[in-house]
Chain A
């Protein structure tokens, strides 16, 4: 017994001795740092010149985006105060403060915090081993970062980044970008390497590095006073951009700086010493963009799982049952927006039960008449009860009911309560619920549900993050109607600060939780593609010619598809048909 006690004591003491070893390999990055812009200074400080894509391993989609880019886009109300996203943040003028967050009880480092003076951004780099959020979680300008020590180097992986730019001249960075950073400190010098992987716009990882020097006296201005304002009247249908081949600045950059045109156009092939003008373009190589382990990627919802996650206020998102479902929960009961695809009712009801606090389902609102949104109407309705004891009421615009009848949707699945006006409101769970209907959007039957106190909008398929808008011209959908509907969404959404993030959250018909930033990029995309096709129609191009010209190329990698129920070709054709139909 004594020996056993001794052994235990010895082991404990051994652990204590080992634990007392100094933190030799862990570098403290705390302090206030200022960038030294001795590389690409004209890009990084005053700002890039149009048409400069040199040094970027970009693809043709990114080139098209950049060629179309008009810097006037930053005069759009919702884009005036949009910060840089992480892939670019350290390559614009920047000063930042770093400090450590430690567990007060153990003194273990939990996270590294950063406040960035440019656009007043805050960033947390988690070092406690937590996973990255699920794929349906909102994205932010700084993304979600986890760090790990590789000796005296801090390696950071960031996901969940909003759409933005790799370069201010309009080289796009998609919201599927993953950024790996390496931080190294030598005295008062902090070196940072950024390696961005973007399967949408890059053919291979894009590496850059930047030096920062510790500031002796610190910064004096850590706030960013941006106030968006409509300074001149602007039609909401106007998004500044250049039509293909009509960018007036094309060619200026290479002429002004004596550069070869092929080099200015960028591409992975142009980054190597042996590159000469005329070298063959790099082909997309998925292997180059891959390799990330699941532990640092957005968590994927396991197949078959249906999960409820809180958005904010009283509103939840239920994912995994086909189209997204929203649920508002309170003392009065549960209001459900859409019910998902058929065959998932048990899982949907289980998810609702998990958040309902014992309350009953009182209302169901259908945002659209399509099968993946209304498939469990009957079961969810029967599982609920109105205050009068009837099964929960299904509400939709009367056009939705009509469309369902045309499709022979059984009576039990169709709405009992319809409305015909442009909007309807009612109180539930102590908050105003406002239903908006646009005469035409992706069809003529959609409803947007605004939870005014929770500050959440369930947008239905007017807004989705997984595909181009499914504009069904056979069901009353129109391009202009969809643009108008997105503009209405933008009217409803307000960011939490002037910096275009959070505030009103938007639950899309499909895809991840979003905010105004995602909606404005989606609106801009649709306007730009519409304008291109409209111009091609005006030039008497046939539908086949228009498809061959790839008017949506710069967004195909993100929203397009070659197969499935809604291909890029179908999207282009829908716009063409809408624009050419007899008025």
Chain B
């Protein structure tokens, strides 16, 4: 009986230590710290195309001046939107105002995501030929001149950190790709939550907070955001759809004390493409709105 109890305690202790090791990979020592790339719980890299099923009338065409529908602008924001002058933007070298960090996700276009180095993700947009740098290294600080894309601080969220596509071999390391296919009955049903085993991929998301940017447009027709704004994004890699489509969902929250009366929420969906063959960089250019006609 005593030996049995001893065995119980030994095995329990060993497993506790083993589990602590797994947990530690998510939170710190022991072991060398994981790079952001190694810690990535989800794989965002690849070529993505915006599928414009929402806000079509404001994203695919340039809406008329003053059309601020859906956006919680305050009085100053409305006034600024009414003062939009595309020609003045062009002549002053500000054509990229609609392609800054507050508007670039909503531009119809393609997106290439890659690791610039183990702690930096690079997002390239063909619309406006823009590049965003997402920095995981907390030692890097914003500084210098404000830019259209600003300074983006990134961090992984969720329980899958350190078990994702590029985690080093070891307990809890998961294979590449998104979490298990979703909507196909292959996820986890009920019962206790996912835990422990290497067979489980635990998902996660990327949180990005951007500051230090130049003011720009939330919408092609000059609905503004200011330099005082803070932009928070959540990148989600959705489980593979049953038809084989892979989706990237990006939730964007813009908080702007100058032009917005409340936080502005949007979410944008990108479908994975096999390659970057259709990635076609184009300059910052906003087509003029079509004329408003009287209904027949």
Partners in one complex: yes
| Separation of A327 and B6 alpha carbons in the complex (Å) | 65
| Separation of A52 and B3 alpha carbons in the complex (Å) | 76
* Binding stretch for chain B, among A207-215, A398-406, A438-446: A207-215
Structural contact, A148 and B185, CB atoms closer than 8 A: yes
Q: Indicate with 1 or 0, residue by residue over B131-173, a CB within 8 angstroms of chain A CB atoms.
A: 0000000000000000000000000011110000000000000
Residues of chain B lying within 8 A (CB to CB) of residue A193: 236, 238, 247, 249, 267, 269
CB contacts under 8 Å to B, within A1-27, are 2, 5-7, 9-14, 16-19, 21, 23-26
Q: Does B100 contact A (CB under 8 A)?
A: no
- Which residues of B are in contact with A by a Cβ distance under 8 Å? 3-12, 15-16, 19, 41, 49-57, 60-61, 63-64, 67, 69-72, 108-110, 126-127, 157-160, 178-180, 182-196, 201-205, 207, 234, 236, 238-239, 241-245, 247, 249, 251, 253, 263-269, 278, 280, 289-296
Known: A18-B195, A57-B53, A128-B189. A258 touches B3 (CB 8 A): no
Q: Is the interface of A mostly helix, strand, loop or mixed?
A: mixed
Structural contact, B49 and A272, CB atoms closer than 8 A: yes
Known: A17-B15, A26-B193, A191-B251. A207 touches B61 (CB 8 A): no
What's the minimum C-beta distance from A193 to chain B, rounded to whole angstroms? 5
Known: A189-B251, A292-B184, A296-B183. A14 touches B292 (CB 8 A): no
Structural contact, A186 and B207, CB atoms closer than 8 A: yes
Structural contact, A55 and B295, CB atoms closer than 8 A: no
Other than A151-B159, A193-B238, A257-B57, give 17 A-B pairs with Cβ distance below 8 A: A9-B5, A23-B192, A40-B55, A55-B52, A149-B187, A149-B193, A150-B188, A182-B238, A186-B207, A186-B251, A189-B234, A191-B236, A193-B236, A193-B267, A205-B245, A257-B64, A291-B184
Q: Does A331 contact B (CB under 8 A)?
A: no
Q: Does A419 contact B (CB under 8 A)?
A: no
Structural contact, A195 and B183, CB atoms closer than 8 A: yes
| Separation of A12 and B5 alpha carbons in the complex (Å) | 12
CB contacts under 8 Å to B, within A320-335, are none
| Separation of A296 and B15 alpha carbons in the complex (Å) | 36
Q: Does A232 contact B (CB under 8 A)?
A: no
Of the candidates A2, A24, A40, A153, the one whose C-beta lies within 8 Å of that of B239 is A153
Of the candidates B56, B185, B195, the one whose C-beta lies within 8 Å of that of A55 is B56
10 shortest interchain CB distances as A-B pairs: A151-B203, A148-B187, A55-B56, A180-B183, A26-B193, A291-B242, A41-B70, A155-B182, A127-B190, A295-B185
Residues of chain A lying within 8 A (CB to CB) of residue B9: 13
Residues of chain A lying within 8 A (CB to CB) of residue B53: 55-57, 206-208, 271
Residues of chain B lying within 8 A (CB to CB) of residue A38: 70-72, 264-266
| Separation of A55 and B186 alpha carbons in the complex (Å) | 30
Q: Is the interface of B mostly helix, strand, loop or mixed?
A: loop
Q: Does A259 contact B (CB under 8 A)?
A: yes
* Binding stretch for chain B, among A248-256, A429-437, A501-509, A536-544: A248-256
What's the minimum C-beta distance from B46 to chain A, rounded to whole angstroms? 17
Q: Does A237 contact B (CB under 8 A)?
A: no
Q: Which residue of the partner chain A has the closest CB to B108?
A: A273
Of the candidates B182, B202, B267, B289, the one whose C-beta lies within 8 Å of that of A211 is B267
Q: Which residue of the partner chain A has the closest CB to B295?
A: A252
Residues of chain A lying within 8 A (CB to CB) of residue B178: 150
- Which residues of A are in contact with B by a Cβ distance under 8 Å? 2, 5-7, 9-14, 16-19, 21, 23-26, 36-42, 52, 54-57, 108-110, 126-129, 146-153, 155-157, 180, 182, 184, 186, 189, 191, 193, 195, 197, 205-211, 213, 251-252, 255-260, 263, 270-275, 287-293, 295-296
A-B pairs with beta carbons under 8 Å apart, 15 shown: A6-B6, A23-B193, A25-B194, A39-B266, A108-B190, A127-B191, A150-B187, A151-B158, A151-B204, A180-B242, A186-B157, A205-B245, A206-B53, A251-B296, A295-B184
Residues of chain B lying within 8 A (CB to CB) of residue A293: 184-186, 242
What's the minimum C-beta distance from A249 to chain B, rounded to whole angstroms? 8
Q: Which residue of the partner chain B has the closest CB to A2?
A: B3
Structural contact, A291 and B182, CB atoms closer than 8 A: no
Residues of chain B lying within 8 A (CB to CB) of residue A23: 192-193, 195
| Separation of A193 and B15 alpha carbons in the complex (Å) | 38
What's the minimum C-beta distance from A322 to chain B, rounded to whole angstroms? 32
Residues of chain A lying within 8 A (CB to CB) of residue B269: 193, 207-209
Residues of chain A lying within 8 A (CB to CB) of residue B205: 152, 184, 186
Structural contact, A19 and B185, CB atoms closer than 8 A: no
| Separation of A211 and B193 alpha carbons in the complex (Å) | 25
Structural contact, A148 and B4, CB atoms closer than 8 A: no
What's the minimum C-beta distance from B76 to chain A, rounded to whole angstroms? 18
Residues of chain A lying within 8 A (CB to CB) of residue B294: 255
Structural contact, A292 and B193, CB atoms closer than 8 A: no
Residues of chain A lying within 8 A (CB to CB) of residue B179: 150-151, 153
What's the minimum C-beta distance from A220 to chain B, rounded to whole angstroms? 20
Residues of chain B lying within 8 A (CB to CB) of residue A151: 41, 158-160, 179, 194, 201-204
| Separation of A126 and B266 alpha carbons in the complex (Å) | 29
Residues of chain A lying within 8 A (CB to CB) of residue B265: 36, 38, 189, 211, 213
| Separation of A52 and B11 alpha carbons in the complex (Å) | 65
What's the minimum C-beta distance from B283 to chain A, rounded to whole angstroms? 15
Residues of chain A lying within 8 A (CB to CB) of residue B110: 273
Known: A2-B4, A195-B241, A290-B243. A25 touches B183 (CB 8 A): no
